[in-house]
Structure 1
């Protein structure tokens, strides 16, 4: 699956065995028998997983990931337009809060190696955010929780890129340590992974959590028809501002032909 937590959940649902690497759990689960008997359980956790037979040969999972982007109109209602900008700002607040926490932990760690710093994971930062959000951002309830999760997730990825670059396990240009985001330089964007995300049947309306309905300037048929037939699942939507214009980019998993291993094979699911 995509995470070790998802792999453990799949193991609990199917009775499969989480594979270990150096005595640590991985994102891989070994399943005995025909994979199709486990498909519903796996897809209840995530539709994104890699499937291998007992020889290690990869086979299709039945889903492919694709994306699309649509320009939408800025809301004519001033309050709704202000809400969109508030979500952009909320993402920056959460990013800067988490970065300040990291810097504070690093300074304290230099003074004493036993200092209990916050792990650089989305789960750890979100737990800490929920404990401090009333003091850091008393207005947090005005925006979707995804706005804050989006900022924290961006920092976690940036820290991961910096760490892998520092240890030379990342190819390409050297990645510097994260800097605080400013309204003047940061691109306005916010990503939604849960909540009320949908493409309406009129093929012009895109609904996002808390923000609500936005009018697309182009027909959304290429996405909406798959969702209407239950042949696709929305994974996430990103609302962004570029050149003063507003865009919604979405990523979705679309069902394709299924190729499963033989009934006697042992399936290895690599959740990514």
Structure 2
């Protein structure tokens, strides 16, 4: 039975940097390698069974005489692994059983996603068949769901199965206080290496703190948020006031020159592959050091981006009741274009535009605010915020000139105003959202904060029960576009000379 979040509780995650000793780091890497070994071993078995049954079917072998099929669920993979581990991995007892279960869970989820994608039951792009994992290509990671998983009382150590007590680089007081108060319970812990240091992310369920009302009405209860490459956020009110404009931090662009230098240096060094023969070779120590420096730069870029996104989204949900954003197809925006669009695609990825809506999705629920998602085809940028006339703009046009002679306005501000007006009917207050459903296994969700509710989560509930991200998915209300079609309507081209004459009175 899939785990369900109890009524009045929500899923969150707390992430702490670790300072393991040399012995503990070797043990962590051993657990990550064990998870990767179990994944690759069972994937090879799955592929072998599929190929064998396909060959037997081509030879006309009856179904009852064919090689038995191998189950792809987590429980089936775990049963098969337990029968084979003594011969396939006689050293298996060195690591926690959760390490092998972590790899099997990843394989089960990958196979399930591939199967659902083939049947058309999974939204999004097509999912390929799971690939083998290499320690040089995949970040080291291991997940624990049972055993001694806790935050120690000194608030500077965490305890994990077999690994023992590990010192944290930062204080764990935020999570420790909630556990001591009985308003949080740890479900799982994931240890991961990002190229610079080790992190431990706790998936927890917490008792939601619902703000039933705000002490005072904010100056601008309804705002529209336009995201972009040049300015990360442009926030405006329905009355046309531009509230805030946050420039894009562009951390990847700032580190681009240093990355380019290091990557060119790595290309001249002895890497893992011989470019002349295309065969594998042992890399040089200098190449490995260069790769470590590259990984650290990418980790720093990701941290800067994550910090900026969390800062601006938290400020938004605390200061406004209704936030309106666009449903951007970020993947489609950066999918094509060739060499001439390479810089724009890089800037779109550097801004992490799609991540903003995800963060707002769960933060609005925590702060009793409301997130409204405008239809993807709503022409917020091409519609005049004063007279509602529509004018076609190119990407290079940073100022909106209305064809009816309205005063010029910044295109991002114009879009934010149009978005804000979509949320005006909802300005009476936010909507409280809570987790739904209950489970007998979770009848005492507070507990002592140690360990997991289930011994192992089913495949389809790992992400829902807490996952690695610091949120739980929430439904977002879509708003119609008020009869402003854009798909089939040909928008008029803008005559800059004529419009400037109307605005300024000069030819």
Q: Could you state the TM-score of these two structures normalised by the residue count of structure 2?
A: 0.39
Q: Does 1:81 align with 2:25?
A: yes
Q: 1:170 to 1:134 in 2, by over 3 A?
A: same
Report what 1:104 is aligned to.
48
Q: How big is each residue's C-alpha offset from its partner over 1:186-218, in whole Å with a ceiling of 9 and x where there is no partner?
A: 110000000100001111101111001111111
How much has 1:257 moved relative to structure 2?
7.4
How much has 1:183 moved relative to structure 2?
1.1
Equivalent residue runs for 1:65-144 within 5 Å: 65-75=11-21, 78-110=22-54, 111-112=56-57, 113=63, 114-144=66-96
Please, which of 164, 170, 185 is the counterpart of residue 218 of structure 1? Answer: 170
Q: Does 1:160 align with 2:106?
A: no
Q: Is the 8 A contact 1:87 1:190 kept in 2?
A: yes
The 2-side partners of 1:117 and 1:233 are apart by 39
SS state at 1:67 partner: strand
Q: How big is each residue's C-alpha offset from its partner over 1:140-186, in whole Å with a ceiling of 9 and x where there is no partner?
A: 11101000000000011011111111112211121111111111111
Q: How many residues align?
A: 207
Please, which of 236, 244, 251 is the counterpart of residue 196 of structure 2? Answer: 244
Q: 1:105 to 1:270 in 2, by over 3 A?
A: farther
Report what 1:7 is aligned to.
none
Report what 2:447 is aligned to.
none
Q: Is the 8 A contact 1:74 1:245 kept in 2?
A: no
Please, which of 64, 72, 79 is the counterpart of residue 10 of structure 2? Answer: 64
Q: 1:270 to 1:203 in 2, by over 3 A?
A: closer
Equivalent residue runs for 1:47-62 within 5 Å: 48-49=4-5, 61-62=7-8
Q: 1:171 to 1:196 in 2, by over 3 A?
A: same
Q: Does 1:228 align with 2:183?
A: no
Q: Does 1:195 align with 2:147?
A: yes
Q: 1:157 to 1:241 in 2, by over 3 A?
A: same
Q: How big is each residue's C-alpha offset from its partner over 1:60-104, in whole Å with a ceiling of 9 and x where there is no partner?
A: x132111111111131xx332211110010010000011011101
The 1-side partners of 2:209 and 2:130 are apart by 42
Q: Does 1:254 align with 2:206?
A: yes
How much has 1:256 moved relative to structure 2?
3.9
Q: Is the 8 A contact 2:5 2:11 kept in 1?
A: no
The 1-side partners of 2:5 and 2:23 are apart by 41
The 2-side partners of 1:69 and 1:248 are apart by 6
Moved more, 227-236 or 125-134: 227-236
Q: Could you state the TM-score of these two structures normalised by the residue count of structure 1?
A: 0.71
Report what 1:147 is aligned to.
99
How much has 1:229 moved relative to structure 2?
2.4
Q: Does 1:183 align with 2:129?
A: no
Find the structure with the greater CA-based Rg. Answer: 2
Q: Is the 8 A contact 1:200 1:207 kept in 2?
A: yes
More strand as a share of residues: 1
The 2-side partners of 1:207 and 1:171 are apart by 38
SS state at 2:192 partner: strand
